[in-house]
Amino acid sequence: MKIIAVCGAGIGTSAILKVNAERALERRGLDADVSAADLAGVAAAAADAQIVLTSTELAAAVREALGTSFAEVIEVVNYFDVDEIGSSLERALG
């Protein structure tokens, strides 16, 4: 499974989200390739991704940038809440 963490610049916030997504997956015994990307590069980064994690503020722009991608966009309210991220990933993986 491939997960992309997205923020506006692809440096700070997406890196925090990436690390916490990896922690959430590890706590649940799940394995995935998690990487960070910026909004401008999300379409290329998510070409083969199943999930894209981003903020509520960027979700509409991410969905527009993804176009016909099959990746599910998950909106994360608190990038530091590993439980929120984990619960969201579990629902998406259903």
* CATH number of the domain within which 70 lies: 3.40.50.2300
Q: How far apart are the first and last CA of the chain?
A: 13
Q: d(Cα 47, Cα 25) in Å, to the nearest integer?
A: 21
Residue that is written with structure tokens 């969201």 in the block:
88
pTM over 0.75: yes
By residue range, what is the domain housing residue 50? 2-93
Amino acid symbol at 49: A
Q: Number of folded domains in the chain? A: 1
Contacts of 2 (CB under 8 A, 6+ apart): 32, 33, 34, 35, 48, 49, 50, 51
Over the stretch 14-72, which tens digit does the pLDDT of each residue have? Answer: 999 999 999 999 999 998 999 999 999 999 999 999 999 999 999 999 999 998 778 99
